[in-house]
Amino acid sequence: MAVVSMRQLLESGVHFGHQTRRWNPKMKRFIFTERNGIYIIDLRQTLDYIEKAYSFVRNTVAEGGTVLFVGTKKQAQEAVAEQAARVGMPYVNHRWLGGMLTNFQTVYKRLQRMKELESIDLTGTAAGYTKKETLQLSREKTKLTKTLGGLRDMQKLPAAVWIVDTKKEHIAVDEARKLGIPVIAILDTNCDPDEVDFPIPGNDDAIRSAELLTKVIATAVADGLIARSGKAARGGDVKPEPGTVAADEPLAEWEQELLTGDKPAAEAAAAPAAE
């Protein structure tokens, strides 16, 4: 069973890249064609790269590693938090603070401070604090929780990082690369594939695209956790589905041709827009 279907990718808009004037030439090999001034990503390659990323994440988690989910742009925040929490993985979905990886010891101390504040009753003037002190502590806790809440159970550096939008999260990418931590990421047509170890060519701007691909990675984590616990069926090659997207929405004719594998016809349909 495939990790995800071509139809799921199409219905989630994973194939839509950026405008042709906003691209990275290094992404040329992942581009299928263009339509109405928008690059269309080759989803056949996307499927292949999803399989590679899935296998890597599953094996990494099965061997005891953790995957840090990162996506601070509005379109990715909810999916990153929801999917990471679903499989018990750490995440950052608001602001990436410089040094979250390269200066993790300091971050860990702040996490301990956050937990300390959470253990204090800040609803009144309990524990001998004045009203002003209580207010200050409450604000500190709120700030720490918003920024570091998704990392509360992270005891050490992650074994890999999942990133939605490598351009926006360039600091996270740089830190991971500096530490030799593998980067798995959505690669839109304006990204640099050289920065990513396990790329998934796709749309990193659409909510449904970010949600679907993040769900795929989370499912790979879940599969790895099952394998780690020894409950996975020996010798099996079946992977759980990463959830579903609406299957009743009509596809454009050229998208149907892409789905059925008729590349010449799909390119012909897109040709008028390229003229």
pLDDT score, position 258: 58
pLDDT tens digits, 31-82: 888 888 889 999 999 999 999 999 999 999 999 999 999 999 999 999 999 9
Q: Give the pLDDT mean for 20-36.
A: 86
- Specify the pairing of strand 31-35 against strand 91-92: unpaired
pLDDT score, position 262: 56
pTM value?
0.81
Q: Are 41 and 202 in contact (CB under 8 A)?
A: yes
Distance between CA atoms of 207 and 226, rounded to whole angstroms? 28
pLDDT score, position 2: 72
Distance between CA atoms of 107 and 95, rounded to whole angstroms? 14
Q: Give the pLDDT mean for 107-123.
A: 87
pLDDT score, position 271: 46
DSSP 114-158: HHHHHTS--SSSGGG--HHHHHHHHHHHHHHHHHHGGGTT--S--
Q: Is 270 helix (H, G, I), strand (E, B) or coil?
A: helix
Q: Are 9 and 17 in contact (CB under 8 A)?
A: no
For the chain, the domains span 6-101+157-274, 103-154
Q: Give the pLDDT mean for 178-190.
A: 96
pLDDT score, position 257: 60
DSSP 52-116: HHHHHHHHHHHTT--EEEE--SHHHHHHHHHHHHHTT--EE-S-PPTTTTTTHHHHHHHHHHHHH
pLDDT score, position 273: 39
21 secondary structure, DSSP code: T
pLDDT tens digits, 202-252: 999 999 999 999 999 999 999 999 999 885 445 444 444 444 333 444 555
Give yes or no for residue 268 having a pLDDT over 90. Answer: no
Give yes or no for residue 274 having a pLDDT over 70. Answer: no
Give me the CATH topology for the region 6-101+157-274.
Rossmann fold (3.40.50)
**Angle of the 43-62 helix axis to the 207-228 helix axis, nearest 10:** 30
Question: Which residue's structure tokens are 């795929």?
Answer: 216
pLDDT score, position 1: 55
Distance between CA atoms of 184 and 80, rounded to whole angstroms? 14
Written in H, E and C, the secondary structure of 179-247 is: HCCCEEEEECCCCCHHHCCEEEECCCCCHHHHHHHHHHHHHHHHHHHHHHCCCCCCCCCCCCCCCCCCC
Structure tokens at 246: 């609406």
pLDDT tens digits, 126-163: 567 778 888 888 899 889 989 899 999 899 999 999 99
Strand 91-92: give its sheet, edge to edge. 91-92, 67-70, 160-163, 183-187, 198-201
Query: What class does CATH assign to 103-154?
Result: mainly alpha
